[in-house]
Amino acid sequence: MMMTFSGGMAGFLWSLMMILSMALPFLLIFWLLICLGGRLQDKKTGRQTPLEALKTRLARGEISLDDFRRLKEQIS
């Protein structure tokens, strides 16, 4: 009687599948935390510095270049 044996490779593949099935949820949670953490960090630092606000107002045309220079000197 001949016993069927799979040559040893199937055992390796099953162990690899077990490792992947355990590591995949952890990697997914880690990736989600990284993505959400980046978004939360962006919201925290969403405030502009006074100089950035001046540059934005200049770019929109709300203030003139002379006003920009005068206000920049005042905040510096």
- Residue-level pLDDT, tens digit, the chain, 76 residues: 455 555 656 677 788 888 999 999 999 999 998 888 776 665 556 678 899 899 999 999 999 999 999 999 999 8
Q: Is residue 74 part of a domain?
A: yes
Q: Is residue 75 part of a domain?
A: yes
pLDDT, residue 76, reads: 82
Rounded to 5 degrees, φ, ψ at 6 are -90, 20
pLDDT, residue 48, reads: 80
Residue-level length of the chain: 76
**Which of 47, 18, 14 has the alpha carbon at shortest distance from 6?**
14
Q: Is residue 72 part of a domain?
A: yes
Q: Is residue 64 part of a domain?
A: yes
Domain hosting 70: range is: 49-76
Q: Is residue 34 part of a domain?
A: no
Q: Is residue 5 part of a domain?
A: no
DSSP state of 76: -
pLDDT, residue 15, reads: 83
Give the count of domains, the chain. 1
pLDDT, residue 16, reads: 85
Q: Is residue 15 part of a domain?
A: no
Q: Is residue 36 part of a domain?
A: no
